[in-house]
Chain A
Amino acid sequence: MSIFVDAESKVVVQGLTGREGTFQALQMKNYGTDIVAGVTPGKGGTIHEGIPCFNSVEQAVGETGADVSIIFVPRQFCSDAILEAAFSGIRLVVCITEGIPALDMMRVKTLLGELGVRLIGPNCPGIISPGKTKVGIMPGHIHKPGRVGVISRSGTLTYEVVDQLTRLDLGQSTCIGIGGDPIPGTNFIDCLELFEQDADTNAIVLIGEIGGNAEESAAHYIHDHVTKPVTCFIAGQTAPPGRRMGHAGAIISGGTGTAREKIAVMKECGIAVAENPAVIGTTLASLL
């Protein structure tokens, strides 16, 4: 088993015909993802790199039975693209694009809640269930099917961790990049809950960073509800206050959201915190 996506997932690519959309769609296809359709308004009826194109998500869902969407459209069209997917029968939307205004995302997420549609991202690498499907931009070859669940606010730092796990022969059940924005569609706790229930996940790695207090909430949730071993790492111990460290959500504001605070809460909750990013894999291995 895996969470959110599996080999049965039928994926539609919104923004297929753009440069990154095309490159990443082919990478996903090569990994084995069932890419059933692409959506680019005005290109309906054409075939792009072997993938049928539609003018709308609704058409794509109707013709192909797509249930998962991945979005590569430019940020000014993203809120619209997410809502289009949500209103067209897609159950899981993965938004890769970075730079969506926070207040737009706030409204979009509220609507998604009403529709019961799950969003992963935005500003994220997506999700992969190794050996089954990849709905994202992560390099597939560093992953290995297995029993560790990975949740992260970062993209490339997640790859780093997965690489460490794979080299230690610790395969992954599902890896989710929840994204670096202030309002992520899916948060740590959503993922922790599913990993705790997932019979094929034995252990969890959680990668947090400065800004907000999602890590603290996750720590308390783990303490109260998660029985499986968890390792965490918090990036940004050297980040200066008041500066946005790349991710829109990675900012220490009003003295809160520091790595130090987060690590302290993690430790209070009995979670194994990796002392530097190179030992995240070995820290988890030591718990198994």
Chain B
Amino acid sequence: MKIHEYQAQNLLKQYGIPVLPSGVADTVEQGLELARTLFDRGCSKLFVKAQVHAGGRGKAGGILPAADLAEAEDAIRRILGMTLITPQTGSEGKLVRKVMVVEASGPIACELYAGIVLDRQRERPVVMVSGEGGTEIEEVAAKMPERILKEHVHPLGGMNPFQGRNLAWRLNLSGDLIQQAARLFVNLYQMFIDLDCSQVEINPLVLTRDKKLIALDAKINFDDSALFKQVEIASMRDLSEESNLEVEASRHGLNYIKLDGNIGCMVNGAGLAMATMDIIKYYGGAPANFLDVGGGATEENITEAFKIILADKDVRSVLVNIFGGIVRCDRVARGIITAAGNANLTRPLVVRLVGTNADEGNRLLRESGLSIQTAEEMADAAQKVIAVLGGGGR
């Protein structure tokens, strides 16, 4: 799960990580009030920043500076309500519903980077810092991997102060800054663990000329599997940032990701779902979505899965590929029949049911009187669902 920058700033603050004074607004009036407060407190320059779940905001006009109240009002009016298009939003862009108004930092000596992810190979968190802040860390990793300094943290031992100090001196920090940076890294690690983060990143972490470290921008992502226990974090989820169909799908325990093809897919199991998309592409078609109905699929969520696939107007035919293990094929067949009864299933449907209770499932489908093509083999199923489109996949 992703959160907004202003929410990330609040979390950092809770963990004792220095951030600049800021506030969030969803109306021009609120934004102006925030700007006025900041200017009144002696701030000489501030930034108005669009709050959307996408990077690349600055270049797209989603971040504007303001040196006085009039400029602030202009910036807020321009950004609030705009549709921001960045390389990460897709061509449709994202509507800006909130802006963050934040004080600009003092003169900057250098820009650093600090981040933590779970190192899957070593099966423990890795704290990464770099003197090359302000740029995409993936670029640094690709071009100058030696500029990324790492400390792996023992899962049970936790991050100790010495590890924070090691990172600090390797960054060429000195004097009081070593303790300051070490504390910041340890606090960041504590947040990563406490909140079940999947990734935290402060970029840039600036060092001001008066020798203060400040988190200027932060990205915090959370492990979706941990949201059941991270109630406060879960409540920060902004559904308006997510695709409607994907939100609707997750409400029914379905895993759905919209893609840009025209063949709808309903599959049980993530691996088979990916393989089904792969084989559709292999035979020249284009999958419209990834949809895993999951292990505990019930008649109801199969029905919902159909509604979601068919709600996508790009879908011209549908392939159901179910290999029964936990999911029993008779349940799937009942779901298909119910869904077909409720929805206007005019688009061609190819169904492949194999495994637990497959015979019963196929019998139910045959006796339903629905017009369904069945297939026994995966390749056969893929070729049939492409063939019904007439010619190629598109």
> Taking beta carbons and an 8 Å cutoff, which residues of A are in contact with B?
20, 24, 27, 75-76, 98-104, 106-107, 109-111, 125, 137-139, 142, 152-160, 163, 180, 182-183, 207, 209-210, 212-214, 217, 233, 235-240, 243-250, 254-255, 275-279
Contacts and interface: CB of A to CB of B under 8 A. Distances in A.
A233 B94 CA distance: 37
A24 to B, nearest CB: 8
Contacts of B154: 110
25 contacts: A101-B196, A106-B124, A110-B155, A111-B156, A139-B355, A154-B271, A156-B323, A156-B355, A157-B269, A183-B123, A209-B271, A212-B120, A233-B275, A235-B278, A236-B278, A238-B278, A238-B281, A239-B274, A246-B290, A246-B292, A248-B225, A249-B120, A255-B138, A277-B276, A278-B378
B259 A246 contact: no
B279 A276 contact: yes
Nearest to B246: A243
Closest 8 CB pairs of A and B: A154-B271, A246-B270, A156-B269, A157-B271, A101-B226, A278-B379, A277-B275, A235-B274
Given A103-B118, A110-B156, A182-B120, A245 B273 contact: yes
A248 B377 CA distance: 28
Q: Max chain A CB contacts within 10 Å: which of B125, B156, B274, B278?
A: B274
B270 A154 contact: yes
A101 B225 contact: yes
B85 to A, nearest CB: 17
Interface of B: 118, 120-121, 123-125, 137-138, 141, 154-156, 193, 196, 198, 223-226, 228-229, 255, 257, 259, 267-282, 287, 290, 292, 294-296, 322-326, 354-356, 377-379, 382
A153 B271 contact: yes
A111 B155 CA distance: 9
Given A76-B229, A155-B269, A276-B279, A238 B120 contact: no
Contact of B229 (A101, A210, A213, A255): A101
B325 A138 contact: yes
Given A155-B271, A238-B274, A249-B120, A98 B198 contact: no
Contacts of B280: 238
Contacts of B295: 98, 137, 155
Contacts of A102: 118, 196, 198, 223, 225-226
A255 to B, nearest CB: 6
A157 B322 CA distance: 10
Contacts of A238: 259, 274, 277-278, 280-281, 287
Q: Max chain A CB contacts within 10 Å: which of B223, B229, B287?
A: B223
B325 A125 contact: yes
A180 B270 contact: yes
Given A98-B295, A245-B270, A160 B278 contact: no
Nearest to B356: A139
Nearest to A155: B269
